[in-house]
Every structure is written in C-alpha cells, then in structure tokens.
Chain A
Amino acid sequence: MAVKWTKKDLLGLEGLSADEIGLILETADSFKEISQRPIKKVPTLRGQTVVLFFFEPSTRTRTSFELAAKRMSADIVNIQTNASSLTKGETLKDTAKNIEAMKVNIIIMRHSASGAPQLLAESVSPSIINAGDGSHEHPTQGLLDMFTIKEHKKKIAGLNVSIIGDIAHSRVARSNIWGLTKLGAKVTVCGPATLMPPEIEKLGVKVTYDIKEAIEGADVINMLRIQLERQGQSLFPSIREYAMKFGLDAEKMKYAKKDVLIMHPGPINRGVEITPEVADGPYSVILEQVTNGIAVRMAVLYLVSGVKERIE
C-alpha cells in the first residue's frame, strides 16, 4: 500500500484518511496470523515501554491492549486510577508529565472525559493511543469492528451497517460512524430519541427510531451496550420498555437479512439490548470481535511505535 503511517498518536478515526484506516486493517491481518501460532510472541516492541493509563475500569479493553503489547514483547506498566481522585490536586497533565519522565514510549489511555487523550498528546512526547474517551471516540473498537466486517464481507464500501442503542453517549458509535463512512459504508443509527445526539445526521448517517427499519436490509447490525443507570436520568422509562422497543431478539431477527452479522462491543447486558439466543446465535460474530481486537491493537502499536523492522 502506498500510504505511509506518519502519526505519533491515535486519538480517533475522525482524523484518519480512508487509506490510513486501510493500512491499519491490512497490518492487522499480518498480526492476526501471529495470534494463531503456537508461540504468539514477536520481538517487535522489545525494549519499549507501554503504559496502560486507565481512568475508568475496563477489563476487556485493558486486557486486549495488554495482550497485544505482550505479544510484541513490550514492557508493560498498568496505572489504574479515577478522574475524581486526580482533580483533588494533581492534574492529568502533572501525572502524564511524571509518566513521561520515566521515559516510556507509548501511553494507552482510557478516560471518562471527552478530549482527555488529546490534552495528553498536546503536552507529552510519548505516543498516545486513545482506548476510549468519554462519549467522543474509541478508535480501536471502531477498527476492530471494521476488521471483523471486512473478514466476513470482504469489503466495507456499499454495505448497510446499522448501529442500534445509546448513540448519544457512545464513543463506539462515533468511531464506527467516522470509519465506516470514510470507507464508503451506508450507516443507519437507531435508538430512542432521548439517546440520539442532536444533528447526528450531519455525520452522513440515516437516523431512525424504528428498529425494524434499522434491521431490514442491514448487512451488519452493531448493538450497543446500554448503561443501566441511564434509566434514572429520565433517558428511558424502564429497562423492560427499552428491551421491548430496542432490544434485538429472535422475533425482530425475522426482519434481518439471511447473511447479517450481529456485533456487540461488550460487555453484553443479556436480555436487555440483545437476547442470549441472538448473542450466541449463528449470525453473531461477537467473540470474533474479541479475537480481532488483539490483532488490531497490535497493528496500532506497531504503526505508532514507528518500528521499521518487518514482522517475522
């Protein structure tokens, strides 16, 4: 591929070109092969230090990044904290400067505030990889979703992809929208009006409140996790009503195409946004997403680390 990777950081998919996204997906292909070897380790990041800087608990994303970095022989440091403890004195930048002083190479950051990774990228020299910031972006999730789609459908352009659930608070939705539309997919977003952010259609997506409309004709359905505490914020009346109106169950699957892919970024609220029979059913690629997450994250680590050696 002609395009060269030039970016120090991966903050989101908004700032990437279609070619750059393509490069990550292609690179991930080679790394996926490594994950299938009996000895899953390459020396690509030997001698480099990767910090997992997590301000929000997240077992899945952290584990996936950690495995990705380990399989590339990086040294790994885990820092778990929460945003509120920081605001009492030391600022995010102070903490980041301290980490920088320890001469680390890559900081993988998860934070509850949108834009926090950008703040970090502007103030310290290590590469910053956004592992999810507020409701803003979760680029590696968007990438692994696209990688999974491409594996099955052999393409992204022209596909109908429906994203269903809490669009307003979802960084997964935003990264998917940016990435998929750049690669030429037709994206529909669906959810209750209270969880639909204003003017989202300006991102080039179709908006519907009718889940049947979102299911019909979709090549891919990506079900988002609903945060149960939103119920208390008058964003929907009850979990039961949410499940009835926006949950994906066998009944609603009747409207789906015969070769539809069902995705979910996890962790699943079984019986809320998706029933177990659909989540574990024949169309589901949810566990493949988890496997692919490691390959995609290895690819991102490889590219931002600027390592020039070829994969062995």
Chain B
Amino acid sequence: MDIILKGGHVVDPASNLDSESDVLIKGDKIAQVGKNIKANGAKTIDCKGKLVFPGLIDMHVHLRQPGREDEETFVTGSRAALKGGFTSVLCMANTSPVIDNKGVVEYIYAEASKTGLINIYPAAAVTKGLEGKELTEIGQMAEAGAKALSDDGKPVMNAEILRRALEYAKMFGLPVISHCEDTNLSKNGAMNEGFISTKLGLKGIPRASEVVMVMRDIELAELTGAKLHIAHVSAKESVEAVREAKKRKIKVTCETCPHYFTLTEEAVFGFNTKAKVNPPLRSKEDLAAVKKGLSDGTIDAISTDHAPHSIEEKDVEFDFAANGMIGLEFALSLANTELVKDKVLDWSGLIKKISANPAGILDLKGKGSLAEGSDADVTVFDPAAEWVVDEKRIESKSKNTPLVGRKMGGTVLVTIVGGKIKYENGKFE
C-alpha cells in the first residue's frame, strides 16, 4: 500500500528542503514530495506539527552478532535503531568471528535480510583478526558489499600497515574508519586524564593518545590520497587537527557521538562504570570544542558507537569494566536538546550529520535523502514530546547507559524502512 505523510515539516538537506510538505511513498521509493499531494487509497499518516526526516543513518554501531548474541542481536539492535529513528547502520567488524573475510560479510547480509527490520551494512576489518599485522582481502570484501574498512575497537598501530591499507582501499573507493588511540599512551587507562582521574586514583588516558593518532592518520591520508574517516572524535585538539586538515584539502571526514556533546568525565564520579567508554568522556572544554566542530562543519557525522555490554562486563570494578555504552535509542533526542535547542545546529544541519553525510561518506546510494526516487526510509519525530529513560523500556538487549533516569526531549513517532512502516507510536511491525 502507498503511504502519504501529510503536513509535516520536512527537513531534507540533500534536496535543500526545510518546509511543510507532504511525502508520498509508492512501493519502496519516495514518489513525490510537495504541497497538497493527492493520494487516493494511500495510508495517511498525519504529521502536522511533527518533523519528517530522511531515515537516520548510524555509521558506527556494534551489533555483537556473530559471537555475543547475549549482548545484542540483529533483531534487538534493529528494534533499538527503529525506536531511535535509524533506518540504516554500519556495524563494526570486531565480532567473533571478526568480519575479516568475504564469508562473514555475506553472513551479515544474509542475517540482516532474514531479520528484515533495517538496513545493516558491514564494515570490514583492515587487518586479519584485527591484529594490526596483515591486510584482509579487501577487494573480495568490497565486492561482497563491505561499505568501509575499520579495525574499530583498536587502532592500526603500525603506520606502514595503515598507509598500505589506505592506498589499497582507494581502488575500491572504500573509506578507512580510524579508531584513533595510541595504545602505548592509553595503556591501562580507565578514564580521561585530569583532576578527576587524580582524585579517583584511576589511570588516566591523555587526550594526546587520541590526538597524535588523528594527526598521524591525517598525514597518511594526505600521503595516499585515500578517504579517511576519523571515528568518535572526543578531544578538542582532534577537532582542531581535522579543521586544519580540511583547510589543506585533505580527504578526511570525522564523526562524534552524542555522549561527547552531552556528558563529561564528571559522569565517572562514584566509579560509575556505565560512563566508562573509549575514547573516555572528556572535559567541559572538549565538549565545547566538539559542539563548535559540529556547528562549523569540521565534524561531518554524528554516530552512536552503540556498544552493548552484559551486566557481567559492567557491574565490576571500574578498572575491569568494559568500555562503551548503548546509544541508538537516545541519539536523536540528545541531539534535539543538546544541539538544536542549544542552537549549535538547526534541523537541516543536524539531519546532514545524522543522515545525508553518513550516506555520502559510505556511498549508500538512494539513502540519506527524500528526493523523488530515493529509497523510502523515513523518520517522523515529535520534538516536543518528553520521556524519561527507563531501563525496563530499553529495546537494546543490553542496558548499559548512564542516561537511565534522564529526561529526554523529543521522541520518534514513526520509522519507515523501504516503504514499510516498521515502527509506529511505540509498536513494532
């Protein structure tokens, strides 16, 4: 059945649209966007007073399948995504087995299609087993549909290997997503290095452990002319380095995550392992620099780095707790309150970073736009609705977030994937 979204405020930066319009969906494509569209027999969704976006794209998630289905599966991860308004995600390669050969890439697509809720694209490992030693069969994985290369969870510490990966990836147009961390500098670190780590007696991770790798990788991007994407930028100096690199016309893009523009290292007080993440939550200054980077265009994308962990991995001594927090269900609300209401970005600027730009960086054809003929992935959002994060109502299989109890601004009403309503008013298809 055709679907018509009536009277919503449509924000589609890819087609320069930011006004009240109807959106008509026929089959799995956007058929028309405009005023007063007549659509006899179509299912009508009244969007008056609501916002209509191209489906959100999260270019950095850990779905834990295969290997840790006790923490997340494609089904639970997809439900979390739909509730958060995400219609497409890029899942990182640090699964078990690692996504480091064609077979695992094919497995991801097969399982994703069996799940049938959202678009799940795999990132493929840069090096075999994420060991940082030998390149994976990048060409074969590109043919099988890998959308990016990343050893995320770990950096490629050997600069020569990253250089060759960047060069080789160029042949397939794949971006290399770099988890920037000098593991010598960050070794045994548990939180951001500074006064709070001193107070708590926890080993600090200096910002420099991120920054030196951002700078190194930028130089390698310049050397090779390849597409480099910096994952989860958290430090002020990293933002500055990317800003300079863009001035030098180096092909670098970067992302940050909602926790870096929402929380600071103070969330760790009381040894709160739910606030343990890598890179660590930083200072107020870093948070301000991340916001500035978002507003001036230095930071291209907002991704969640959704990282589910079991209770056993979090409810332990801070030093032994796993890094990471879930993010899919909260990203858009946090962006609403921390960025849009705070006038860091307008809606169009935000949707660029959470839909249009990720589609561009990953070269996802037909995604990230509501232009006629695009894939019918649509998110309807009510920015005025309020809710409180309740652990019992989290869709993700893991509940590791420091946001429980926090009041959230704005809620996703409808998520449409490929022309099918997958989520509507709190209910899944």
Contacts and interface: CB of A to CB of B under 8 A. Distances in A.
B405 interface: no
A30 interface: no
Contacts of B199: 14, 174, 203
A83 B201 contact: no
Contacts of A92: 316-317
A182 B318 CA distance: 27
A87 B316 contact: yes
B111 to A, nearest CB: 30
Q: Choose among A83, A114, A115 the residue with the greatest number of B CB atoms under 10 Å from its CB.
A: A115
Contact of B201 (A93, A119, A135, A199): A135
Interface in A187-220: 197-200, 202-203
Given A114-B271, A135-B202, A91 B316 contact: yes
B41 interface: no
B197 A197 contact: yes
A54 to B, nearest CB: 15
A118 B317 CA distance: 9
Given A198-B193, A198-B194, A111 B201 contact: no
B198 A113 contact: no
Contacts of A200: 198
B195 A202 contact: yes
Contact of A113 (B197, B204, B315, B319): B319
B198 A114 contact: no
Given A135-B202, A202-B195, A83 B271 contact: no
Interface in A115-132: 115-116, 118-119
Interface string A94-125: 00000000000000000111111011000000
B317 A197 contact: no
B317 A171 contact: no
Nearest to A89: B312
A137 interface: yes
B39 interface: no
A136 B268 CA distance: 14
Interface string B190-218: 00011101111111100000000000000
B428 interface: no
Given A134-B202, A135-B202, A83 B195 contact: no
Nearest to B206: A198
Given A114-B202, A135-B202, A198 B317 contact: no
A16 B108 CA distance: 54
A137 B201 contact: yes
A115 B318 contact: yes
Contacts of B195: 198-199, 202
A133 interface: yes
A119 B319 CA distance: 12
B320 interface: yes
A114 B189 CA distance: 12
A234 to B, nearest CB: 10
Contact of A133 (B197, B198, B201, B204): B201
Q: Choose among A14, A114, A171, A203 the residue with the greatest number of B CB atoms under 10 Å from its CB.
A: A114
Q: Choose among B271, B317, B319, B320 the residue with the greatest number of A CB atoms under 10 Å from its CB.
A: B317
Interface in B168-201: 193-195, 197-201
Nearest to A118: B271
Nearest to B272: A115
Nearest to B198: A197
A198 B312 contact: no
B212 to A, nearest CB: 17
Given A114-B202, A135-B201, A197-B197, A93 B315 contact: yes
A116 B317 contact: yes
B206 to A, nearest CB: 8
Contacts of B197: 197-198
A87 B316 CA distance: 9
A79 B318 CA distance: 22
A83 B198 contact: no
A143 B315 CA distance: 30
Contacts of B198: 197-200, 202-203
Interface string B112-142: 0000000000000000000000000000000
B270 interface: yes
Nearest to A87: B320
Contacts of A136: 200-202
Contacts of A174: 199, 201
Contacts of B200: 114-115, 136
A119 B317 contact: yes
A87 B322 CA distance: 12
A80 B198 CA distance: 28
11 contacts: A83-B320, A87-B320, A92-B316, A93-B315, A111-B317, A113-B317, A115-B200, A137-B201, A198-B194, A199-B195, A202-B195
Given A83-B320, A91-B312, A137-B201, 16 more contacts: A93-B316, A114-B200, A114-B318, A115-B271, A119-B316, A119-B317, A133-B201, A134-B201, A134-B202, A135-B201, A135-B203, A136-B202, A198-B198, A199-B194, A199-B195, A202-B195
Interface of B: 193-195, 197-204, 270-271, 312, 315-320
CB-based closest 4 A-B pairs: A115-B271, A136-B201, A135-B201, A113-B317
